[in-house]
Amino acid sequence: MPYPEEFTGIGVLSTDSWRTPQRVTYPAKSFDPKDIDIQIDACGVCGSDLHTVQGHWRPIRDKMVVGHEIVGTVVAIGSQCNSGFKIGDRVGVGAQVLSCLECERCEEGNEPYCAKFVSCYNRPYDDGYISQGGYASHVRVHEHFVIPIPESIPSELAAPLLCGGITVYSPLRRNGCGSGKRVGIVGIGGLGHMAVLFAKAMGAEVYAFSRRVNKREDALKLGADHYVATSETPGWESELKSKLDLVLVCASSLSDIELDKYVTSMKVGGKIISVCVPEKHEKLSLSAFGLAGVHISNSALGSPAEIRELLDLVVEKGIKIWVETLPVGESGVSEALQRLDKGDVRYRFTLVDFDKEFPRA
C-alpha cells in the first residue's frame, strides 16, 4: 500500500517567531519496514518544546514541529513489524524514536543512552532527515518505541507520562525509591508534581521542596508528607541533616538551588539526581570536602520497558496527574507555549481536538 509522503502540523518557522506558530505541511520520513504510522489524538506540551522553539539548545529545522508526548491510533504497520500492534490500537510515543538497538546499552534497556539516539523532533536520522514531532496529524516511528496505552488512562492524561512522567519515574525507580525511603523532590512544577505522585505511590516518605510557600497546598494534595519553602525557612538543611536517601532535582537549573544545603540533608551514600536541562552550560559550586559521601548524578528519559512499567503503576495506583487541555491549532499552540514560558500552568498542558484541526479521511 502507498504510505503518505507528507504530514501536516503546527510549526514554528524561526526562533524569532515562536509565539506565532503556523499550520505547515512537510515531508514525512521514509516508511521503513519496522515503522508504524500513528494518527495523533493528543500531545503533551513539554518544557523541551519551549526550549527548542526558542533556540536554547541548537538551531531548529525549517517548519519545526515539536511535541514528544504523543497518543494516537495505529493506521499503518511496516512489513517487518513483529511487536503485535494492530490497526486501530491506541498507542503512545515519547521523546525517543530510534536507537541502534544492537549495542550493549540498548540490549541492557538503556536505549536513551545509545550513541545513535534520535529524539522525536529536531534530530537527524542516518539519511539526513530531521525528525518532526507530535503537534501534527501523524507521526512515523520505529515499532520499538511505540508504547501500548492502557484502556483506563485517558489520552490527555497518558500523553504527559510519555516524556515528563518517565523522566522522573526512571531515576526514582533506578535509585531505590520505595517503602522505608525518604525522598526529596525539588521543584514542584510540570515534572516535580508527577515525581511527588510517583514517589508516594512507590511507598516513599516524600519531602517536597520549593522556594516559596505558595505551592504548599498543592504539594500536600499531591501526596507529599512534608513541604519545605527553602527561601522562607532559614536553616532548613540543619533540621533535615542526614535524613534523605534520595533527592530528585526537577528545577530548571542546578546552579540556582544551593546544592550544598541539599548535600547536608543527605544520608551517607545518598543520591542527588538531576533531570533538569538548563538553557546554557552551568558550573556547580560545592564547599570544599562538602560532598560527605553523597553521589551527584543526572538522568535522561527512560526506556520503553520503563514507560510500560510507569503506565502499569499509574493504572494500579489510580494516579491522576494534573493536566489542562487546549485545542491544537495555531492559537492553541501559541497559548500553550506562551503560558508555559510564563509558568502559567498547573501543571501540564495536553493538546487535544486533533480530529478537528486535522480532519480524518
Over the stretch 117-143, which tens digit does the pLDDT of each residue have? 999 999 999 999 999 999 999 999 999
CATH superfamily membership of 6-163+302-357:
Medium-chain alcohol dehydrogenases, catalytic domain (3.90.180.10)
Specify whether the CB–CB gap between 146 and 93 falls below 8 A: yes
* pTM passes above 0.75: yes
Q: Tell me which of 244-258, 262-276, 298-312 is least confident.
A: 244-258
Closest residue by Cα to residue 180 from 236, 262, 237, 244: 244
Q: How confident is the model at residue 285 (pLDDT cuts 50, 70, 90)?
A: low
Rounded Cα–Cα distance for residues 169 and 356 (Å): 33
Q: Tell me the pLDDT of the chain averaged across its residues.
A: 94
Q: Are both 6-163+302-357 and 165-298 of the same fold?
A: no
Rounded Cα–Cα distance for residues 136 and 159 (Å): 14
- Per the rule left: phi > 0, alpha: psi between -120 and 50, beta: everything else, 293 is left
What secondary structure letter does DSSP report for 140?
Answer: E
Domain limits, the chain: 6-163+302-357, 165-298
What secondary structure letter does DSSP report for 29?
Answer: P
**Most distant pair of Cα atoms in the chain: their distance:** 67
As a CATH number, domain 165-298 is 3.40.50.720
